[in-house]
Structure 1
Amino acid sequence: MAHHAAHKQPACANCHYQFEPARPDEFCPRCGQQNHAIDLRVGHVVEEFLEGVFHFDGKVFSTARLLLFKPGELTRRFLAGHRVPYVPPIRLYVFISFVFFLLLGWVAGHSTDEGTAHARPVRRGFVYNMNTDSLTARPAKQPFFSINIGGDSLDSGAGYRVPLSNDSVLRARDLARLPDHASSRQVDSLIRSKGATPTYFSRLRVSRYLRWRNASPDETAHVAIRTASILLFLLMPLAALLLQATYRRQRRYYLGHLIFTIHLHCVLFVLLMLGLLTDELGLTSVSTWLPLLILPYFVLALRRVYEQGWGKTLLKATLLALAYLLLLVLGTLLGTVLGVVIF
């Protein structure tokens, strides 16, 4: 990025190369260091910081204008070869998704911060009482889910059971005997106490139970955010495959469909961010419908990029949306399982 507002020096501050008059002096031809004094404006320093971290430059404004207000135009220009004036798709996705998940993490933490005087009330978990068969609100500093049996509270998942090889099971009251960081020997000993042989899956279920039985809302939200970020990133190539299958007669390269998908996800993140912000401001009615704007945006973008009539575009948009929704549901289920098992 060229910093024309910075004060130029007659010689390189690093290797003392003397710049020649009427010759380019933005960078030193000997060592490559950028030629500007250290006494920079605050705005200039912020610009350099953003450039260093996110490769942010003046292209972002022209990119944002096309991305947000002309559905499909940014993709169309990229595919036509006009790439220099705009932020590359992957770099754009990394920046926007980073800001989105950072904001999501802040909102999740803010909503569960009891020290904030004006924080909105949230459901921070439940206590299940087997005597009355009822759920009651869990105090904030207790485990996320617990069971109450005969007045004695056991930190566990409601109805959680670990099937064993001899048709017996480990129940909540059995698992409550284990400490949070039980050793493999303690886990195996508990399993053998039921007359069963420890297996990989029985050990895994016990260890995951111990990992999550005292999980706080903040910890649960953190894992959910990590899982969601990975899930959405992995869904993009699959969504591009759906586009390629839908528009196979146009014989476009897969990369073009992928660029379209990346731009679409970037817009989705922006709408979700606006939804989070408006919800934090108490504009619940606005935050509810904002993310739904992705649907008309999707139709307009398909129409502009793939240049088909409104009838075909609406039909294909509907089929693609349903297929993507199915992928999202399956991916969410798989991501939830992996999130619990891995994280």
Structure 2
Amino acid sequence: MSKNQLRSDKTCLNCNHVVHQRFCPNCGQENTDSRKTFHHLFIHFFEDLTHYENAFWKTIRNLLLKPASLSKEYLSGKRLSYLAPVRLYIFISFITFFVISIVAEGTELESKPLREIRPPAGLKLTPAEMAELREIEAVEIKQKKVDSLRVAGLFTKDEAESMKQSLEKNYKAVKIGEEFGYRTVRQLDSVQHSLPESKKFSPVKYWFYRKMTLINQKGMTGEELVNKFKESFLHNFPKVLFIYMPIFAFFLWLFHSKKRWYYFDHGIFTLHYFSFLLLVTLISISLDSVLTLLHSDIADLISQIMIFGVICWMLYYFFPAHHRFYGESRGVSFIKTAVLFFINFIIVFILLLSFMVYTLINLH
């Protein structure tokens, strides 16, 4: 029960009904002071989330260790003992993507220095590798000249480092375009117009080459391109996931009896399953971040084993959850889950591909 002080005024603020005790007999609102400090707001939010009855931890425990138990309990009518499915999903997804965004900011990809790109000494090189080695050596010569000018007093140390990094960045940016064979859009358009109709690039291939060449002209490195994808992914993936859940529930509806199961039932199962996936992701990312701070080979090994175990548990979880929730034989349940996995894998692949295209279109 809330410990907030009761109002001296006995008129309910919500419905104007006379309140003789703590709660209004007409609408159920508590007759306490509505103005709260930040501390009271935080406590009220947490109490409301956990129902003040240990429902939160009970929900989390069952979600992780008892596949489908929450869905079965909810549909059987036992709803006050656990967090509501929608509230559970929103809470876990918010915390998960918040933590992912924080971790992502601290793990920006670092550019490899040219000395790590350089082929090993004494190795027999192909003509292409020889050409690349000469380009690397040309950049390194320019960097040495910058160092000489710094020693001569023409540049400060910071200015020299900035110029050397710029030389590396420009080299790597050019390499992005060269992988597709074109340094400029003008060159690409010239080739496209000169080819006979039968050998011209398809519209999709031409669009992709043109986009990558434009990225090259803007001087964007491979690391910057990956970071752009990462930023777009973190921003849009929660929306994509929320939109995908009704599709996931729809396929469950297609594979099960329409008389026994409503679409609503499949929706509840889907909410709990996706909440589980996000919660396990949150736990694994949090533990991996802690282990990374130790900077030891043992910690890295433990992290890899943990991630492998988490992936296995995430893949396996759906099988017992499906079997227990729908009450079908293990054989029938296994066949249905295998088919559902295949269908959803195809859909997820298409969604990710569409997402990559969307990100490329919106690159500035």
Q: TM-score by structure 2 length?
A: 0.63
1:157 aligns to 2:153 (yes or no): no
Aligned length: 295
Q: Select which of 299, 311, 323 maps to 1:291.
A: 311
Gaps of 5+ in 1: 113-121, 162-168, 176-188
Residue 245 of structure 2: aligned partner: 236
Larger radius of gyration between Structure 1 and Structure 2: 2
Residue 96 of structure 1: aligned partner: 92
Residue 8 of structure 1: aligned partner: 6
Residue 270 of structure 1 and its aligned partner are, at CA, apart by 0.9
Matches within 5 A, 1:270-281: 270-281=279-290
Which segment is superposed worse, 224-233 or 303-312?
A: 224-233
> Percent identity, aligned pairs only?
19
Residue 33 of structure 1 and its aligned partner are, at CA, apart by 7.6
2-side partners of 1:337 and 1:98: how far apart?
Answer: 26
Deviations 1:275-309 (A, max 9, x none): 11221232312133113212332122112210012
Is the partner of 1:56 in helix, strand or coil?
A: helix
2-side partners of 1:160 and 1:111: how far apart?
Answer: 26
The structure that is helix-richer by fraction is: 2
The structure that is strand-richer by fraction is: 1
Residue 269 of structure 1 and its aligned partner are, at CA, apart by 0.8
Residue 274 of structure 1 and its aligned partner are, at CA, apart by 1.5
2-side partners of 1:142 and 1:260: how far apart?
Answer: 52
1:321 aligns to 2:349 (yes or no): no
Native 8 Å contact 2:101 2:234 kept in 1: yes
2-side partners of 1:294 and 1:64: how far apart?
Answer: 15
1-side partners of 2:340 and 2:321: how far apart?
Answer: 13
CA 1:298/1:211 → structure 2, altered by over 3 Å: closer, same or farther? farther
Gaps of 5+ in 2: 119-127, 137-160, 194-202, 292-301
Native 8 Å contact 1:8 1:35 kept in 2: yes
CA 1:211/1:36 → structure 2, altered by over 3 Å: closer, same or farther? farther
Q: Select which of 16, 29, 49 maps to 1:56.
A: 49
2-side partners of 1:332 and 1:37: how far apart?
Answer: 46
Residue 268 of structure 2: aligned partner: 259
Spell out structure 1 runs of 4+ moving beyond 6 A. 12-15, 17-21, 37-41, 125-131, 139-143, 189-196, 206-212
Matches within 5 A, 1:56-205: 56-58=49-51, 59-112=55-108, 124=111, 132=130, 133=132, 148=171, 154=173, 157-159=176-178, 171-172=182-183, 174=184, 205=211
RMSD: 4.5
Native 8 Å contact 1:97 1:269 kept in 2: yes
Residue 166 of structure 1: aligned partner: none
CA 1:146/1:12 → structure 2, altered by over 3 Å: closer, same or farther? farther
Tell me the amino acid that sits aligned with residue 176 of structure 2: G
2-side partners of 1:309 and 1:223: how far apart?
Answer: 43
1-side partners of 2:347 and 2:341: how far apart?
Answer: 10
Residue 142 of structure 2: aligned partner: none
Is the partner of 1:11 in helix, strand or coil?
A: coil
Residue 24 of structure 1: aligned partner: 21
Residue 220 of structure 2: aligned partner: 213
Q: Select which of 28, 32, 35 maps to 1:35.
A: 32
Q: TM-score by structure 1 length?
A: 0.67
